[in-house]
Structure 1
Amino acid sequence: MQFLSRWENQRLSATVRGIPMVDGVATADIGNQRWSPAHGDLALPVLTLDEAAFAANRDLFLKWCASSGVAVAPHAKTPMSPELARSLRAAGAWGTTVANVQQAAVLLASGERRLLLANEIGGLAAGRRLGTLLGAYPDVEFHAFADSPAAVAALAGAARIAGRSELSVLVELGAGRTGARDRAAVEATIAAVLAADRLVLGGVATYEGAAATSDTDETMRAIAVLLERTIETFALVRAAAPKRPLILSAGGSAYFDVVARTLAPAAQADGNASVILRSGALFFADHGIYARAFAEVDRRGGLLIEGLHHSAVESFRPTLTLWAEVLSRPEDGLAIAGFGMRDASFDQGLPVPLRVFRDGVEQQGLAAALAVTRLNDQHAFLSVASEAALAVGDIIAFGISHPCTCLDRWRVIFGLDADGVVARALPTQFG
């Protein structure tokens, strides 16, 4: 736990966004400061995590997984927070997913010992880097993706350098992103794994989100085709590895219900296979892309947990809030807030004003009169209804869209308790 103890002993200074202009505060002492973003105690802008909402989302999804006959290795690329990854695993997650060797290094250093590397790693040089990393962690259970003989060769080099007798390879099917596109590519990849020393077939993987389009019906057809190809590929892998426990892995945060309904019966029929989802962003939810995705889940029947139906929209709670101050009211109908593209995601929708505070007191109804219209580097432009009495110095709480591209802008996020007070600091480790 050397990595975590380094953060626990660190003193966070005002150079870390959100920390007030005070002498350094030990990470372990953050919760004793009783800072509240609504009262202006933190240096704004700042990103916070609703701890209760995160725990509720975690418990809900893990319960749904158990009821649906699947497991989850949450994708750590969303927060890149070893502490949050550890908390998900402690609550019952199967393991942790990473996107590249750098992320694997962070999670291994923090103590994780079961990883899916849900991506091709690259060529032989990348294989050498992965091999050096795995050599330092001989006890880790590690699964990597391959969609070609070239990808297999890189993993074989990694296994050799690491001195591992076995390295598990999941044959990846794909549409729109990485992944073998046809049976010939699948068969070539399987053959390469069987021919390689130190590699074993570990299962099959895909990512259904890459098949999505702007048309809902077309998306569902494309995902159905991809998952059917995944089951066909699983049969080929099973024929090549008749006795090994195998993994069927898919499932982001938008179509996890479709994946479970399709793949869980195949794994159950096999009798020696597990479906491992890789959902990560849904633990955070949002006020944009995933709010819309959950509405689609409800249109497909919602969440079935132990025979009872639950609304995804009503059950998953947004956890992230971006706090910023009104800097200027330069003209009627316009306000400038102190955050921008350096602070908030904007690829899947602009932030949404949720609440407005003045001297720590919420100004009821004022947020409804506001809308973010555009961002530049460090300024947000807000339209303001003519009757709205928004003032310089007011603090606005914003909901965000797409947690993955918001969290990666922050070195530290702050966990809030039920009273809206900072309970802890959560360092992130983006490469």
Structure 2
Amino acid sequence: MQGILAESEFPVMVVHRDALQHNVATMAAFAQAHGLRLAPHAKTHMSPEIAAMQLEAGAWGLTVATVTQARTVRSFGARRVLLANQIVDPVGLDRLAAELTRDPDFEFLCFADSPAGVDILRAHAPERGFRVLVELGHAGGRGGCRSVAETLDLAAYVEKSDGVALAGVSGYEGSLKSAEQVRDYLGGLREVAEHLRLRDPLLSVGGSQWFDVIGRELATVKATVVLRSGAYVSHDDGYYRERTPFNRVEGELRPAFEIWAHVLSTPEPGLAVVGMGKRDAPYDEGLPIPRREGVTVVAMQDQHTVVRADGLRPGDVLAFGISHPCTAFDKWRTLPVVDSGYRQVGTITTHF
């Protein structure tokens, strides 16, 4: 055991500094090289330290999913916030309106996918109004108008409504299953953007699993294209390792998370119980990935992980990578940042 691992209570999840810095720089460079703006989805980490790294690397703004998250990243120093969701909460809208009134330099944008949603925004708008991106969805998607024509009709409704201002079009392609489906969907977003009566509309897309296709398909669109990629910042050893566009184009992301835990019990031959569980590591998009050869995770419980392996003894220490960063950060309020020798060189705090 070395560095912080010799001093910590277990389980402990660490963040590798070099991987974190590499990922922030890599995604910033990709966006710049393809003429894209990057508004990283802060709901992944909800960390002021990581937000500062992303903004210092040139992020256009920060993306969030809820009013509470928007108010939190404002406390991180974000001047431009994109709320990539519909907002219908009266209390939340009133608080956003108050913040927009208080700070004339605060830039805020949100989504709308129905006249009813626009009317709710109008009812709580500050004097300078809410800036709105009309959302184009797709069949089976989680939100958005279901056709280009419906989206353009909604844009016209926004344009004639007081209290809201049309800023562009938005969408989410991450739930589509193939590059062909993504290209077709992006074609609809392009069509909407090019029919809007705006000199420089925004066109915002998700961008974690298909940013290579986005970079090609939207290279010539007459709009400012904003990626909302989030999971790239820590990457992983599972879900995003398999799906990152850097499997198809030049470049790489590196897994920054690692969780360490003791073997607690070996109650049967070839079976061991490890002292970490669902409270400590994500399990919704794949189980943790053992870093030791011959170890296989078979189940997770609240505080335990069951593995199959030969030769383990109580007190042994195992390391695991994780799958799905978005449900890793939220399990820890503080995370030690370590160098290659596991010496602590910083701390990441989270505010979920």
TM range (shorter): over 0.9
Number of equivalences: 349
2:186 is equivalent to residue 186 of structure 1: no
Q: 1:118 aligns with which of 81, 84, 96?
A: 84
2:325 is equivalent to residue 403 of structure 1: yes
Distance, in Å, in 2 between the alignment partners of 1:134 and 1:108 is: 11
* 3-state DSSP of counterpart to 1:210: coil
Kept after mapping to 2: 8 A contact 1:131/1:157: no
Q: 1:24 is matched with which residue?
A: none
Distance, in Å, in 1 between the alignment partners of 2:45 and 2:151 is: 32
Root-mean-square deviation (Å): 1.8
TM-score computed with the length of structure 1 as normaliser: 0.77
Deviations 1:290-347 (A, max 9, x none): 11013x6434xx1xxxxxxx2x4xx211001111111111221011111111111111
Q: How does 1:299-310 map to 2 (within 5 A)?
A: 299=248, 302=249, 310=250
Range with greater deviation from structure 2 (373-382 or 149-158):
149-158
> Offset at 1:123?
4.9
Q: How does 1:310-349 map to 2 (within 5 A)?
A: 310=250, 312=251, 315-349=252-286
> Offset at 1:37?
4.3
> Offset at 1:378?
0.4
Q: 2:51 aligns with which of 85, 89, 97?
A: 85
Q: How does 1:136-155 map to 2 (within 5 A)?
A: 136-155=102-121
Q: 2:294 aligns with which of 350, 369, 374?
A: 369
Q: 1:280 aligns with which of 225, 230, 242?
A: 230
Q: 2:344 is matched with which residue?
A: 422
Aligned letter for 2:247? D
Q: 1:246 is matched with which residue?
A: 201
Kept after mapping to 1: 8 A contact 2:66/2:85: yes
Q: 1:293 is matched with which residue?
A: 243
Deviations 1:7-44 (A, max 9, x none): xxxxxxxxxxxxxxxxxxxxxxxxxxxx83432x1111
Distance, in Å, in 1 between the alignment partners of 2:265 and 2:175 is: 41
Distance, in Å, in 1 between the alignment partners of 2:281 and 2:103 is: 36
Kept after mapping to 2: 8 A contact 1:285/1:319: yes
Distance, in Å, in 1 between the alignment partners of 2:227 and 2:63 is: 9
> Offset at 1:210?
2.4
Distance, in Å, in 1 between the alignment partners of 2:144 and 2:194 is: 17
Deviations 1:254-273 (A, max 9, x none): 1111112111211xxx2xx3
* 3-state DSSP of counterpart to 1:373: strand
Distance, in Å, in 2 between the alignment partners of 1:123 and 1:189 is: 20
Change (3 A) 1:158 1:48: farther
Distance, in Å, in 2 between the alignment partners of 1:169 and 1:221 is: 28
* 3-state DSSP of counterpart to 1:180: coil
Is the radius of gyration larger for structure 1 or structure 2? Answer: 1
The percent identity for this pair of structures is: 40
Q: 2:183 aligns with which of 212, 218, 224?
A: 224
Aligned letter for 1:205? S
Distance, in Å, in 2 between the alignment partners of 1:324 and 1:134 is: 46
> Offset at 1:236?
2.5
Change (3 A) 1:133 1:154: farther
Kept after mapping to 2: 8 A contact 1:129/1:158: no
Q: 1:202 is matched with which residue?
A: 167
* 3-state DSSP of counterpart to 2:85: coil
Q: 1:36 is matched with which residue?
A: 3
> Offset at 1:127?
2.8
* 3-state DSSP of counterpart to 2:42: coil
TM-score computed with the length of structure 2 as normaliser: 0.94
* 3-state DSSP of counterpart to 1:204: strand
Any stretches of 5+ residues in structure 2 without a counterpart? none
> Offset at 1:128?
2.7
> Offset at 1:193?
1.3
2:130 is equivalent to residue 167 of structure 1: yes
Distance, in Å, in 2 between the alignment partners of 1:317 and 1:298 is: 12
* 3-state DSSP of counterpart to 1:275: strand
